[in-house]
Amino acid sequence: MKIAERIENLGTETAFAVSAEANAFAARGHRVYPFHLGDMNLPTPANVVEAAFKAIRDGKTGYCPNYGIPQLREALAADISASHKMDCRMENVAIQPGGKPVINKFLLALMNPGDEVLYPNPGYPIYESLIEFYGGRAVPYGFVEGDGNFELDLAAIEDKITRRTRLLVLNDLQNPTGAECKPAEFEKLAELVEKHDLYVLCDEAYFDIRYTGASASFAALPKMAERCVMLYTFSKKFAMTGWRLGAAIGPRDVIDIIAKLAVNDESCSNHFIQYAAIEGLTGDPGPAKKILATLKERRDVAVDILNSIEGVTCFRPDATFYLFPNITQAMRNKGFDDYDTARLEILHNTGVSVCTRLHFGRALPGETDFYIRLAYSGIDTDDIREGLGRLKEFLEDF
Ligand code: PMP
């Protein structure tokens, strides 16, 4: 077949290749510790599952409104109003088949070919892929190691704004670094957004995956609601990654376009799953809290072991289920000078499967340190202990 030229510009999630390699290694009879997965090995809460079955039995199996069912839009608007401390109405909500489709629809609605879009790198690889696919210019900004966590490289963002910059992708509580903006950084960013007349995709996939304190949304800053589209997902909070349900939340005119894109694309999100999502939002909060408690325990075990390894340093982010340790010295100790050698040596000698910085974008000019990304959402505490114990033994043997 003669494939359309535009496909040349379509990227992918190269982390899936890591999964394939880990599976092949396991198939040869080796023990694998899956830290590469962004998926969860925790079950969806039973009350949510039951609500889905009930909805099927009740015949919620036909098409439903393109915007999503009104009861869910209302429940989500109420949830967002409370958690974000902002006024969110059901008119601001378009239910989507996952959080990911919001990235696509945000760009289709707001980006013209040639527009520059600032996006995080290292970051979720879909931003760069789709910006370039639709003919935009993907302009990366990075992160710096701050006091206790990674921080947005605000100076780089400011430097890279030109008169063609139109959009900013902000993934606060970030995959893969766990970076989180402080209030002063939000304020500075809001100043830039207003000054340069930018619109923002607030990817809040991890807003509710938080262990201490409360998450804050950039969209809740003064005058920012009218410039922000939020990506919401049911995937993480309710361990529903495979159910595929999320939402775009933003100004009504953009939400109407996003719903129109849905008419042209998937017609509507899965009907009966939306009833399960209502149960998640309004039913017993216990199961979601239990998911968080499990993740927090895993985080602490993983961070403690990682920091005990000679040549490795790791922050303890308050949110997300990812760790992004700096392994520069450990690489030197072992004589590894590229990411793939390090990753494969680690896999083949210890069974520990990780992603590296390069699965989250091309390295930026001047970047000299080495990082790997570990997800602890898909691996139990005992396996974390065992796997990272092996990693420690391997990296300290030089
Ligand atoms: N944004 C980020 C930063 C993510 O890490 C993910 C999932 N890995 C998503 C969006 C999309 O998740 P989903 O489509 O399952 O809602």
Distance CA 311, CA 304 (A): 14
For 276, residues 6+ apart whose C-beta sits below 8 A from its C-beta are 48, 49, 51, 52, 55, 240, 243
The atom number, within ligand 1, closest to the CA of 174 reads: 3
Is residue 216 within 8 Å of 224, Cβ to Cβ?
A: no
pLDDT of 15 > 90? The answer is: no
**pLDDT for 16 beyond 90:** no
* pLDDT at residue number 4: 94
The domain defined by 5-43+287-395 carries CATH number 3.90.1150.10: yes
Indicate the top mutation candidate among 44, 173, 174, 203 to test ligand 1's pocket, ranked by most ligand atoms within 8 A of CB.
203
**pLDDT, the chain, mean:** 97
Return d(Cα 216, Cα 83) in angstroms, integer: 8
- Ligand 1 centroid to Cα of residue 310, in Å, is 32
In this predicted structure, what is the pLDDT of residue 359? 96
**pLDDT given at position 24:** 95
pLDDT number for residue 147: 92
Domain limits of the chain? 5-43+287-395, 48-282
Ligand 1 centroid to Cα of residue 115, in Å, is: 24
Distance (Å) from CA 205 to ligand 1 centroid: 6
**Per-residue pLDDT tens over the stretch 124-154:** 999 999 999 999 999 999 999 999 999 999 9
**Cα distances (Å, whole numbers) of residue 142 to 14, 183, 265, 278:** 19, 19, 33, 37
CA 39 – ligand 1 centroid, Å: 10
| 398 C-alpha to ligand 1 centroid (Å) | 38
- Does the structural domain 48-282 have CATH classification 1.10.1060.10? no
Q: Quick one: 167 exposed, middle or buried, by C-beta within 10 A (0-12, 13-18, 19+)?
A: buried
* Of 233, 245, 269, best ligand 1 pocket probe by most atoms within 8 Å of the beta carbon: 233
39, 100, 238, best to mutate for ligand 1 pocket (most atoms within 8 Å of CB): 100
- Residue 38 CA: which ligand 1 atom is closest? 8
**pLDDT score for 241:** 97
Pocket lined around ligand 1, Cβ cut-off 6 Å: 38, 98-100, 124, 171, 175, 203, 205, 231, 233, 235, 241, 246
pLDDT digit string, tens, across residues 325-380: 999 999 999 999 999 999 999 999 999 999 999 999 999 998 999 999 999 999 99
Q: How far is the CA of 127 from the centre of ligand 1 (A)?
A: 11
pLDDT-above-90 percentage for the chain: 97
Distance CA 367, CA 353 (A): 23
Residue nearest atom 4 of ligand 1, based on CA coordinates: 205
Residue 166 vs residues 2, 59, 110, 247: alpha-carbon distances, Å: 34, 44, 8, 23
Q: For the chain, what is the radius of gyration of the CA atoms?
A: 21
- Is the confidence at residue 38, as pLDDT, over 90? no
Tell me the C-alpha distance between 340 and 18, whole Å: 10
pLDDT tens track for 289-333 = 999 999 999 999 999 999 999 999 999 999 999 999 999 999 999
Confidence of residue 253 (pLDDT cuts 50, 70, 90): very high
Which residue has the least CA distance to atom 8 on ligand 1?
A: 38
Q: What integer is the mean pLDDT of 187-213?
A: 97
